[in-house]
């Protein structure tokens, strides 16, 4: 039995955009997390960038209404799928991160901060 791969990512929203794909809306979120540590008395900082997709209609609604905007502190959870295609006779693949759950972690949304996407529509992926 093939086990489904899952992801969880916490970071700050940098960019969110929605576009029509066929009869559904596709939302893409670009998120950044930072880590810092001291090494040899010098402060080292590193940024990690991450992109995730959602077909959930209410995510595109949140982007359109401005609720989901740059700087929001988020936790994204979901599944990892393989995206495969052929280019110039070569088979190419890369992982694709599909959002199933989005949570606000910043203080601006202390109430009702967790939002499960699984209950929002019939099929998100």
Q: pLDDT tens, 93-119?
A: 999 999 999 999 987 655 444 455 444
Query: Tell me, what's the pLDDT at 67?
Result: 87
Domain ranges in the chain are 5-116
Instruction: Kindly report the pTM of this predicted structure.
Output: 0.75
* Distance between CA atoms of residues 9 and 74, nearest Å: 8
Query: Tell me, what's the pLDDT at 1?
Result: 56
Q: pLDDT tens, 34-86?
A: 999 999 999 999 999 999 999 998 889 999 898 888 999 999 999 999 889 99
Query: Tell me, what's the pLDDT at 109?
Result: 57
Does domain 5-116 fall under CATH 2.40.50.140? My reply is yes
């Amino acid at each position: 039995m093939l086990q489904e791969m899952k992801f969880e990512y916490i970071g700050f929203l940098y960019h969110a955009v929605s576009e029509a794909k066929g009869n559904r809306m596709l939302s893409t979120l670009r998120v950044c997390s930072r880590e810092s540590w001291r090494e040899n008395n010098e402060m080292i900082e590193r940024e990690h960038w991450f992109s995730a997709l959602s077909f959930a209609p209410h995510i595109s609604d949140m982007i359109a209404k401005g609720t989901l905007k740059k700087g929001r502190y988020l936790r994204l959870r979901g599944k990892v799928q393989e995206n495969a295609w052929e280019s110039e006779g070569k088979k190419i693949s890369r992982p694709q991160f599909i959002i199933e759950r989005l949570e606000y972690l910043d203080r601006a949304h202390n109430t009702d901060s967790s939002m499960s996407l699984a209950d929002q529509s019939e099929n998100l992926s």
